[in-house]
Amino acid sequence: MKIIIVGCGKAGEAVAGALCNEGHDICVIDSQREVIDRVTYSYDIMGICGDGTLYEVLDEAGAESADMIVATTSRDEVNLLSCIIAKDMGTVRCIARVRDPKQNAHAVYLSEHLGISMTVNPELLASREAARLILMPSALEVDTFARGRIDMVQIKVAPDSPIAGVPLSSLHSALKSKILVCAVQREGVEEAIIPTGNFVLEAGDKVYLTATHKDMGTFFREIGLTAHKIKSTLIIGGGKISYYLAESLRQTGIKVKIIEHDHARCLELAAMLPNATIVCADGTDQRQLDEEGLSDYDSLVALTGIDEDNIIVSLYAKLIGVKKIITKINKPELKAMAEKVGIESVISPKQLTTEVMLTYVRSAEKTGSSKIRTLYRVADDKAEAMEFVVDAKSRAADIPLSDIKLKNNLIIAGIIRQGKVIFPGGSDMIKQGDIVIVVTTNKFINELDGILE
């Protein structure tokens, strides 16, 4: 596909790199020459230094024949205007990053009247992930499929865990909960592992597993990962993610305090969040954290705009015994280092944005059967978890799974049929209308039939 990307900040560059790796024809537009030079050199793609809202700039980028434009600048109005002009010029699909809560409320209008195919709000996506981690504190990562019917979580196997040293084929007989282990990260093994029944879990493994929400809770109790319910959260930084997260947690009854250094922003937050406590102070100052009673909080969420500050605050919270710590980190290299020192629940608005846009692009590529509906990149981007809805044209339907030749390093992690969750065996079949969850290290699958050898 021919795709134009307007704005090469953190999100724009990440999207450009991901789409370039999938073989698309990419042209990037940014107003800063040094940014264009860096991105075009890094990914060997076309770049234009200019204003993405100008007709002549979009014309030079080929908007009249482009399959898609993705506008990811820091300004919502610029993104929307770029999309509207490109659409009028002939670009087929338009995706705009829209961060303002007021604009997001009008997504239907933007689609129906202005031709915006999809709006993406990185801060809202990040807040939802943070909320899931707070509500399921035993997990290191939490993703959901089929509108919440299936959870996929990551846990770390402790040395004294009852599942350490157990072959996966024996887990079902040892546990009351119905869970499926679908991917494993093991120290010293570069690639993610899609395990078979003979695979034996070891202490230190980071395990991705799927289950219903109820069975996931039962599983946690069975292996001794029960955690106290989170009743209070201290949020460092008062940006848009903090607002969305505080608003979400308020509805669950969780006590929220936000520390933000900008006085004007504190006044805004106080007006928007009357049930939260807003403190105007430096949330990276140890004395301030101690005065605000950090050690008394069940969880801390570090959401400043500086990755390094988030890491330092999280390490201090870990040192004084805060039970659940969530850290915003956008730089992949810092994420890897942070995990080495014990910071394990990390959210990245940049990665979440990329996942949503990749899902849309892959779906738009195909007009055939059972297109991709949801995509998560897991195990440090070494594997992908995807959701498909099965239609009548799928070659994978109505055949026992034991008779289907699937690609290597791939597992069907769940099937939802008429609201019922099935963790399939060899005699089960995929049927029209099913929602199918697939986890694999094979990249660039964009339809269900792509899982076939």
Percent of the chain clearing pLDDT 90 (strictly above): 82
Quick one: pLDDT band at residue 369, thresholds 50, 70, 90?
low
Per the model's pLDDT, the better-predicted residue between 434 and 425 turns out to be: 434
Is a pLDDT exceeding 70 seen at residue 368?
no
State the pLDDT at residue 32: 96
The model's pLDDT over 300-332, given as tens digits with 9 standing for 90+, comes to 999 999 999 999 999 999 999 999 999 999 998
Interaxial angle between packed helices 10-21 and 349-365, expressed in degrees from 0 to 180 and rounded to the nearest 10: 40
pLDDT in the model for residue 179 = 92
Give the per-residue pLDDT at 193: 97
Check residues 228 and 62 and name the one with the higher pLDDT.
62
CB proximity list for 114: less than 8 A, separation 6 or greater: 80, 83, 84, 87
Among 423, 239, 432, 235, CA closest to 325: 235
Structure-token match 């949020």, residue found = 235
Cβ–Cβ < 8 Å for 449, 394: yes
Q: What is the pLDDT of residue 111?
A: 74
Beta strand 324-328 with 299-302 is parallel
Top mean-pLDDT range of 26-30, 372-376, 426-430: 26-30
CA distance 135 to 249: 9
Q: What does the domain layout of the chain look like in residue ranges? A: 2-120, 126-222, 232-347, 352-451
Q: Does 333 or 325 have the greater pLDDT score? A: 325
Evaluate whether 126-222 and 232-347 have a shared fold.
Answer: no
Q: Which tens digits make up the pLDDT trace of 295-305?
A: 999 999 999 99
The C-alpha atoms of residue 218 and residue 187 are separated, in whole angstroms, by: 27
Write the pLDDT tens digit of every residue in 390-403.
988 899 999 999 99
Over range 359-377, report the average pLDDT. Answer: 83
**Homologous superfamily (CATH) for 352-451:** Regulator of K+ conductance, C-terminal domain (3.30.70.1450)
In DSSP notation, 255-295 reads: EEEEEES-HHHHHHHHHH-TTSEEEES-TT-HHHHHHTTGG
Contact between 205 and 186 (Cβ < 8 Å): yes
Mean pLDDT taken over the chain: 93
Whether 150 shows a pLDDT value over 90: the answer reads yes
Single-letter residue type at 141: E
Confidence of residue 52 (pLDDT cuts 50, 70, 90): very high
pLDDT at position 147? 87
Considering just the CA atoms, what is the radius of gyration of the chain in Å?
Answer: 23
pTM above the 0.85 mark?
yes
Is CATH 2.40.400.10 the classification given to domain 232-347? no
Query: Which pLDDT does position 107 carry in this prediction?
Result: 67
Q: For residue 5, what pLDDT is reported?
A: 98
Which has the minimum average pLDDT: 5-19, 270-284, 337-351, 354-368?
354-368
pLDDT > 70: percent of the chain: 98
The pLDDT of residue 114:
82
Q: Which CATH class is domain 2-120?
A: alpha beta
> What top-level class would CATH report for the domain 126-222?
alpha beta
Spell out the residues 6+ positions from residue 40 whose beta carbon is closer than 8 angstroms to its own.
28, 46, 47
Residue 400, CA distances (Å) to 220, 424, 428 in order: 32, 10, 5
